[in-house]
Amino acid sequence: MNPADDNLRQRHCQPRRGESHRLSAEQVAAFSTQTPQWALIEDGKAIHRSFSFPDYHHTMAFVNALAWIAHREDHHPDLGVHYNRCEVRFSTHDVGGLSENDFICAAKADALL
């Protein structure tokens, strides 16, 4: 199955441990087509997006909703919370880079907007 043909927002994270679950460059490129606002960082080992909001209240509403998704999916991002923006970084520590779970959660974060 081509990962780009699948709707990531409808999927759920699965436990992923070990290098065998780390995505190849080709797989990352395919998943990236569904999460075009996210940038590859750290030599392709993580993805990042900055979300902007009009004020602190909207920023915190987004952070709380994202925290609920992270808890439900059992896949947690690194967050930088500021007055009118939130920096979000996903990587799967247990695989030493990116896994399918990172893109699933990125797509769910995008859907919050």
What's the confidence (pLDDT) of residue 62?
A: 98
pLDDT digits (tens, 9 = 90+) for 63-108: 999 999 999 999 999 999 999 999 999 999 999 999 999 999 999 9
pLDDT digits (tens, 9 = 90+) for 18-29: 999 999 999 999
pLDDT digits (tens, 9 = 90+) for 45-55: 999 999 999 99
The distance from CA 87 to its chain's CA centroid, rounded to whole angstroms, is 11
Confidence of residue 6 (pLDDT cuts 50, 70, 90): low
What's the confidence (pLDDT) of residue 90?
A: 98
pLDDT for 1 beyond 70: no
pLDDT for 110 beyond 80: yes
Nearest to 100 by CA among 31, 46, 52, 40: 31
CA dist., res. 104 & res. 43, Å (int): 20
> pTM for the full model?
0.92
Q: H/E/C letters for each residue in the chain? A: CCHHHCCHHHCCCCCCCCHHHCCCHHHHHHHHCCCCCCEEECCCCEEEEEEECCCHHHHHHHHHHHHHHHHHHCCCCEEEECCCEEEEEECEHHHCECCHHHHHHHHHHHHCC
| Neighbour count for residue 111 (Cβ, 10 Å) | 11
pLDDT for 111 beyond 90: yes
